[in-house]
Amino acid sequence: MQFMKKNRGFTLIEVLVTTAVLAFGIVSIFQAMFMIMSAFSYIAHSLAVIPQVDEKVWQAQDTVMRLGPRAGLASQGSFGYGGKRYDWTLSAALQDASAGLYRIELVTQWDEGRKHYRLARSALVIYESEDEKK
């Protein structure tokens, strides 16, 4: 009686399937890492810009509260922070004429590589004319 020695090892198909599964896993991990890096970049820039944006909105609120329809607000501009340029657009629109309610909207935009980011802030303010204060 002759015993056949059984070859132990992997077939080519098993090796190819394993390689494909590992490659898919690695690609998925890198894709997730790049998405996290993009989100981190947006958050880091947003956190750096928020104090300047809030200050702009507060200035606009104060101006509209004091001057109302005579408020001459700059509608757009830009500022630099941390070696990056941020463009902003400001609008103040009358929401309710009888109450003197204005809506102030500030949109800040910047580019990071090929991506375009945007951060919006809005606030409401009431203008009381001199006649109403008396």
User: Is residue 80 situated within a structural domain?
Assistant: yes
User: Is residue 100 situated within a structural domain?
Assistant: yes
Inter-residue contact 57 to 106 (CB < 8 Å): yes
Contacts of 10 (CB under 8 A, 6+ apart): 18
The domain containing residue 33 runs over which residues?
Answer: 12-133
CATH, residue 66: 3.30.1300.30
pLDDT tens-digit series, residues 48-100: 889 999 999 999 999 998 888 787 888 899 988 888 899 999 998 888 888 88
Identify the band that residue 133 occupies on the pLDDT scale cut at 50, 70 and 90: low
User: Is residue 56 situated within a structural domain?
Assistant: yes
- Among 90, 97, 96, 52, smallest CA distance to 72 is for 90
Token pair for 4: 């056949």
Confidence check: pLDDT of 132 > 60 = no
User: Is residue 78 situated within a structural domain?
Assistant: yes
User: Is residue 98 situated within a structural domain?
Assistant: yes
pLDDT at 73: 84
Confidence check: pLDDT of 134 > 60 = no
pLDDT at 2: 62
Quote the number of domains for the chain. 1
User: Is residue 106 situated within a structural domain?
Assistant: yes
Identify the band that residue 34 occupies on the pLDDT scale cut at 50, 70 and 90: very high
Which single residue is written with the structure tokens 């606009």?
Answer: 60
User: Is residue 7 situated within a structural domain?
Assistant: no
The pTM is what? 0.71
pLDDT at 45: 87
Q: How far, in Å, CA of 104 to CA of 64, rounded?
A: 9
User: Is residue 6 situated within a structural domain?
Assistant: no
Confidence check: pLDDT of 103 > 60 = yes
